[in-house]
Amino acid sequence: MSQSKPTAVSRSITAQTLGWLGEAPQAYIFLTLYIALTALGAFLNQRSLPIFLLFEASLLLIFYARIPAKPKAIFCGIVLLVLLPVLGLRNAYYLEVATQVGIYVALALGLNIVVGFAGLLDLGYVAFYAVGAYVWAIFGSSHANEFSAPGNLVVAAIGLLAAAPGATLAYRGIRRVAGEDRLPRPWGALLPWAVTIVAAVVLYRLAWLILGPGLGSVGRFPLPAGWFFPFLLIAVGAAVLSGILLGTPVLRLRGDYLAIVTLGFGEVIRVLSKNLDKPINITNGSQGITPISRPPLLPEALMAPLRSFFSAIAGRPLLNADLYGFYFFLLALAIAGVAILVARRLDHSYIGRAWTAIREDEQAAIAMGVPLVRMKLMAFAAGASFAGAMGMIFAAKQTFVNPDSFTFMESIGVLAMVILGGMGSIPGAVLGATIVTVLNLQVLTELSLQLSALRQSGGLMPLLGIPWTQFPNQLEPAKYQRMVFGIVLIAMMIFRTEGLLPAVRRRLEIQEALHGDADAAGQPVKEA
């Protein structure tokens, strides 16, 4: 877990800090002090962005600290599960930002599998996110009532078809993470069976709900909120299915062609979601679908004490609606955590090695017996599954989806996160997602606010002497996300192709390609 060798750039920037973080007792004291001070600062001064950013940076310091994994996890847990929610209950926007970070972390990790691990550039990644979002949007709202009986059958058939890969994935995933060898004797063998039976019962129940006694009658939808979690499986399955559908025909293509085709696929999904309000109204066109039901909170008996507890923290009475912010934060955090776990395990499995082989030399990989098509499809499917799950959370969080949420810019935004952190690097993807999201949601927004405040104050610009009121009001930093993404992509490609927190192997590959010298990669590289 600990970063063994900080690279030259980060060393020069953070030499002093890393020195403090270098040894165990010192590092504990420093981290505790830092976290306590920034958290206290953010708690006392809730509108100050710099202090909150410093607080957020504590996670990075924890990552860099050279301490064993367990204390690291404890520090992370305190920051993410105790301090951040407390701050977030006081200032709901912080929690919103943290939730968005969680969502984008999972998306970046998913894209990282496709782009970083397998080396397939996917410019239409947001399509899978859209698939996941629309799956829940349609059935989690009253929209599905619009289907006539035959339409319903078709939709249900597609849904159940989508559930199959989802169930398979869950089954295999659970087997892999908590397989036979990891659990005590009888349970290890029983677990897969239990999963299969539970999945079968859930699917049967769902099919009954959609197709059962009230077939064609009005008012059966939205599905009861409790179906949110089983539906996660279906959303994942639908995304995986669309990943495979896209992947099958295009996998023979060269890398750059693949990029353009995935871009086209992303646009096709967006245009379809905009136009499939006729002949059958599936997506309700550009108006989008609302309201979408949210997952259930706990039963009221448990909820009441929790609410009063959180109200005490927040310093004001909280309604269930306020608590949903916290709830979705936990949900996004949980899925992001699962995503990190899955990505790490995939990376270190034979699948991950096969992806590396394909990425480095496709011909050699084929010659060594790597099943090319299966592995590429698996990369697409795995990447898509993260996006599908997060899409569903997004739909439930916003209670509204429309095609505008799934533009090409979103795909590039996620790509920028992966590139910034470093292709193929899991900590990199997390860092990239956090930096870009915080930049977009907090820094740029803050700049916009400051600018409009200046505009209203009527003062003069420093140096120029022009009144701020003449400053063009078109110029809202918050609207210049494209420029941010563009600069990130160009600058990273030119100056630091391997990313901020590079994966070691990837760095060697890129240096080898750029300088044509495999052995010199570890040593200082001479510029040509």
Partner 1 sequence: MTGSLPRKLRELFLPLGQIILFVVASAAVMSAIVLALAFLLRGSRADSDLLVGVFALLPQTLIDGITLGFLYALIALGYTMVYGVLEFINFAHSEIYMVGAFAGAELALTLQSLGLLLVIPPLGYVVLAVLVGMIVSGALAVTVERIAYRPLRNAPRLVPLISAVGVSFFLQDAVRLFESFHRNAFYLTFPVIPAFDRRIIFGAIPTATGGMIDVGISVKVIIFIVAAILILIGLNYLVNATKLGMSIRAVAQDRPTAGLMGINVNRVIALTFLIGGSLGGAAGVLAGIKAGTIDPFFGFIPGIKAFTAAVLGGIGNLTGAVLGGITLGLLEAFVASYLTLFTRGALPGADYAAITAFLILIGILIFKPSGLLGEQVGHAGRRA
Closest-CA residue to 244 (of 323, 96, 396, 131): 131
Site string for partner 1, 58-97 (x = CB under 8 A): ----------------------------------------
Residue 362 interacts with partner 1 (CB under 8 A): yes or no: no
Q: What is the DSSP letter of 479?
A: G
Would you count residue 337 as binding partner 1 (CB under 8 A)? no
With CB under 8 A as the contact rule, the residue among 90, 175, 176, 274 that binds partner 1 is: 274
d(CA 173, CA 35): 35
Task: Copy the structure tokens of residue 256.
Answer: 């750059």
Residue whose structure tokens are 């533009």: 407
Q: Which helix (H) or strand (E) holds 77?
A: helix 69-77
Examine residue 222 and say whether the peptide bond preceding it is cis (omega within 30 degrees of 0).
yes
Rule CB under 8 A: which of 166-185 touch partner 1? none
Span from 65-73, 320-328, 385-393, 469-477 in contact with partner 1 (CB under 8 A): 469-477
d(CA 279, CA 244): 26
Question: What whole-number distance in Å separates Cα of residue 83 and Cα of residue 67?
Answer: 21
Residue 419-438 contact track with partner 1, rule CB under 8 A, x = bound: x-------------------
Residue 486 binding partner 1, by CB under 8 A: yes
- CB of 236 or CB of 420, closer to partner 1: 420
Q: Segment contacting partner 1 (CB under 8 A): 144-152, 183-191, 392-400, 468-476?
A: 468-476
Nearer to partner 1, 141 or 411 (CB): 411
Minimum distance from CB of 387 to partner 1 (Å)? 19
Decide if 403 contacts 286 (C-beta within 8 A): yes
CA-to-CA distance for 444 and 20, rounded, in angstroms?
A: 31
Under the criterion CB under 8 A, does residue 272 sit at the interface with partner 1? yes
What secondary structure letter does DSSP report for 296?
P
478 belongs to the binding site for partner 1 (CB under 8 A):
no
Interacting span for partner 1 (CB under 8 A) from 115-123, 165-173, 207-215, 318-326: 115-123
Sign of CA dihedral 371, 376, 377, 383: positive
Instruction: Give min distance, CB of 493 to partner 1, in A.
Output: 4
Binding to partner 1 by residue 268, rule CB under 8 A?
yes
Least distance in Å: CB of 514 to partner 1? 6
Of the candidate spans 18-26, 33-41, 51-59, 491-499, the one that interacts with partner 1 by CB under 8 A turns out to be 491-499
Which residue's CB is nearer to partner 1, number 42 or number 416?
A: 416
Residue 368 burial by CB count (10 A; 0-12/13-18/19+): exposed, middle or buried? exposed
Can you tell me whether residue 241 is helix, strand or coil?
A: helix
Q: How far is the CB of 482 from partner 1 (least distance, A)?
A: 4
Should residue 112 be labelled a site residue for partner 1 when binding is judged by CB under 8 A? no
Min separation Cβ 415 and partner 1, Å: 7
Listed ranges 9-17, 154-162, 195-203, 479-487: which one lies at the site for partner 1 (CB under 8 A): 479-487
Q: Would you count residue 408 as binding partner 1 (CB under 8 A)? A: yes
Q: How far apart are CA 473 and CA 476, in angstroms?
A: 7
Closer residue to partner 1 (CB): 260 or 330: 260
Q: How far is the CB of 486 from partner 1 (least distance, A)?
A: 3
What's the closest the beta carbon of residue 350 comes to partner 1, in angstroms? 24
Which residues touch 438 (CB under 8 Å, ≥6 apart)? 53, 56, 97, 101
Residue selected from 24, 157, 190, 271 as contacting partner 1 according to rule CB under 8 A = 271
- The terminus-to-terminus CA distance of the chain in angstroms comes to 34
526 binds partner 1 (CB under 8 A): no
Residue 201: how many CB atoms within 10 A of its CB?
11
Contact 408, 414 (CB under 8 A): no
Return all residues near 277 (Cβ < 8 A) that are at least 6 apart: 283, 284, 285, 287
What's the CA gap between 122 and 381, in Å, rounded?
Answer: 12
Site residue total, partner 1 (CB under 8 A)? 52
Q: Is the peptide bond before 477 cis (omega within 30 degrees of 0)?
A: no
User: Would you give the DSSP letter of residue 91?
Assistant: S
Binding region for partner 1 (CB under 8 A) out of 20-28, 175-183, 259-267, 393-401: 259-267
Do 76 and 120 touch, CB atoms closer than 8 A?
Answer: no
Category of 422 on φ-ψ map: left (φ > 0), alpha (ψ -120 to 50) or beta: left
x-or-dash string of contact with partner 1, 217-256, rule CB under 8 A: --------------------------------xx-xxxxx
- Rounded Cα distance between 312 and 351, Å, is 49
Q: Is 260 in the site for partner 1 (CB under 8 A)?
A: yes
Among residues 87, 235, 259, 500, which is the contact residue for partner 1, using CB under 8 A?
259
Binding of residue 489 to partner 1 (CB under 8 A)? yes
Longest Cα–Cα distance in the chain: 79
The single residue among 215, 513, 518, 520 that binds partner 1, judged by CB under 8 A, is 513
Left (φ > 0), alpha (ψ -120 to 50) or beta: where does 472 sit? Answer: beta
**Residue ranges in contact with partner 1 by CB under 8 A:** 119, 121, 123, 249-250, 252-257, 259-261, 263-265, 267-268, 271-272, 274-275, 278-279, 408-409, 412, 415-416, 419, 472-475, 480, 482-483, 485-490, 493-494, 497, 509-510, 513-514, 516
